[in-house]
Amino acid sequence: MVYFPIAFVHPLDEFDVQSAIQCAAKLNIPTVARSGGHSYEAYSLGGQDCSLVINLGHFKNITIDTISQTAVIGTGIPVKPLYHKVHEHWFAFPAGLCPLVGVGGHMMGGGMGFLSRKFGMAADNILDAQIVLANGTVVYSAKEYPELLWAIRGAGNAGYGIITALTLRIHPIPKIVTRLIINYDFDQTPLLFSVLDQLGPNFHQNLTLYVVINSDSDTGPSTSIDCIYLGSADEFRQHVDVQEFIKLSKPKNVTYIENDLYYFQVVKNMTLHGYYKSPSFFFDQRGIPDEGIKYYMQFMKTFKCRAHSKTLLIAGGKVNEISRNEIAYVHRGFKYHIAMAVPFPDAHSEETKECIQELEKFNKHFLQNYASYECYQNLIDRQLDNWQC
Ligand SMILES: Cc1cc2nc3c(=O)[nH]c(=O)nc-3n(C[C@H](O)[C@H](O)[C@H](O)COP(=O)(O)OP(=O)(O)OC[C@H]3O[C@@H](n4cnc5c(N)ncnc54)[C@H](O)[C@@H]3O)c2cc1C
């Protein structure tokens, strides 16, 4: 999706942002903030032609205070330098997997990733913010306006103002972390979910786990588990529930990779380029119904384009310890979240059009019949029915 903005502004500080907003208001031009530019629907280009794009690329500061366990950051940075910088002090911050996602759009819409089970969503860890409001007022501390601070943590990329800085709670992490990769035969997917349904909610919070299901017409569909455990492989193995899980789910192979670089584990994940869609599905404590798993597997087996999907185990984690009303990020109490990523190298080809139609059909049926009615707003999709409601 490409839109043509009327101009890009590259402010150096909050006063430049203020001037740009006031100038655009006088000229009746819609303004939009751009942080990492990863909006699936290109909303940081305005989502329509002729917007004024306020690019926060110069807001790059990162200041760490290990005593108060906080970081103050500009909203123009991607998550990678944040992970890198806090890790120099053996701290981490819970946010997404893609290293280039910008903190501006990402954290304000939620922000889930490898540390969510332990520390919650990125938005749960926002303590304060500096915002330039639509009338040009600079709010230096959103804490003085509790409703504003409440709203931006989960809906902050929806137009309350342009957020120029954030104060974050950062977390000490052990020096050694362990990555665990478990491969399965694709046909074992239902068994895997039934074992995960029973044992997953009791897994230690140091463990964040994704079920990864990929479709690829060349190699066929595949299923694996990708986890990060905050501790050594030996400590990990002492968690009997995980050993039980491995025994019951009958994997093809199990690999432990011990590493002292948490951020390395995260940023080495592959980034896909080009246009793509990313359907989102939440499942309550009953899990994914058997029929739903069959439907999902059938789609991954027969889909003509490539599709990646990651199911995050939310149950038993920090995200669910926070009430639905505490901040504007509302998706609490779920067992799993599936995020799909379907890349389309050529956005205008016939094959892409067919695949998008097929994906939408799947998306609609899966949402209506097997998932909850909620979708994660960071995986925005303008083709969803009634998404504005
Ligand atoms: C490859 C890829 C991987 C992803 N992986 C994950 C993941 O692991 N976990 C996850 O939770 N999400 C993930 N996402 C989704 C991601 O969180 C959203 O796309 C997010 O909105 C991107 O933020 P951004 O700043 O990069 O995007 P932008 O396109 O810059 O902004 C997105 C929206 O936020 C608004 N916005 C941006 N900055 C500000 C600001 N400073 N103040 C106010 N509004 C602002 C924009 O106007 C726009 O509406 C991924 C997306 C992609 C493309």
pLDDT in tens, 146-196: 999 999 999 988 889 999 999 999 999 999 999 999 999 999 999 999 999
Ligand 1 atom with minimal separation from the 271 CA: 1
Angle CA 216–293–112, to nearest 5: 75
- Cα of 172 vs centre of ligand 1, distance in Å, is 25
| Residue nearest to ligand 1 atom 46, measured at CA | 44
Averaged pLDDT for residues 234-243: 87
CA distance 35 to 50: 18
Cα-trace Rg, the chain: 21
pLDDT of residue 389: 44
Ligand 1 atom with minimal separation from the 33 CA: 47
- Cα of 331 vs centre of ligand 1, distance in Å, is 17
pLDDT of residue 272: 57
Question: For domain 177-369, which architecture applies?
Answer: 3-Layer(aba) Sandwich (3.40)
pLDDT of residue 159: 83
State the number of CA atoms in the 13 A half-sphere of 295 facing the CB.
17
pLDDT of residue 268: 56
CATH for 62-172 is 3.30.465.10
**Does this chain's domain 62-172 share its CATH topology with 177-369?**
no
CA distance 31 to 28: 9
**Ligand 1 lining (C-beta closer than 6 Å):** 32-40, 43-44, 56, 75, 96-98, 101-102, 104-106, 108-113, 156-157, 162-163, 271-272, 378-379
Dump pLDDT digits (tens) for 12-62: 999 999 999 999 999 999 999 999 999 988 899 988 899 999 999 999 999
pLDDT of residue 238: 86
Question: For domain 7-55, which architecture applies?
Answer: 2-Layer Sandwich (3.30)
Averaged pLDDT for residues 250-273: 74
Mutate to test the pocket of ligand 1, among 2, 14, 31, 39 (most ligand atoms within 8 A of CB): 39
ipTM above 0.90, yes or no: yes
CA distance 285 to 301: 26
pLDDT of residue 387: 55
| Residue nearest to ligand 1 atom 23, measured at CA | 105
pLDDT of residue 211: 97
Dump pLDDT digits (tens) for 119-135: 999 999 999 999 999 99
- Cα of 174 vs centre of ligand 1, distance in Å, is 28
Reply yes or no on whether the pLDDT at 386 is more than 80: no
Mutate to test the pocket of ligand 1, among 35, 97, 308, 342 (most ligand atoms within 8 A of CB): 35
Q: Where are the domains of the chain?
A: 7-55, 62-172, 177-369
Reply yes or no on whether the pLDDT at 259 is more than 50: yes
CA distance 186 to 165: 44
CA distance 209 to 181: 10
Q: Which of 21-30, 257-266, 306-315 has the lowest mean pLDDT?
A: 257-266
Q: Which residues lie closer than 8 Å to 332 by C-beta, 6 or more apart? A: 319, 320, 322, 323, 324
Reply yes or no on whether the pLDDT at 383 is more than 80: no
Reply yes or no on whether the pLDDT at 73 is more than 80: yes
CA distance 69 to 93: 11
Averaged pLDDT for residues 104-112: 96
The first and second tokens of residue 243, run together, are: 């050993």
Averaged pLDDT for residues 80-105: 94
pLDDT band for position 348 (50/70/90)? Answer: confident
pLDDT of residue 266: 61
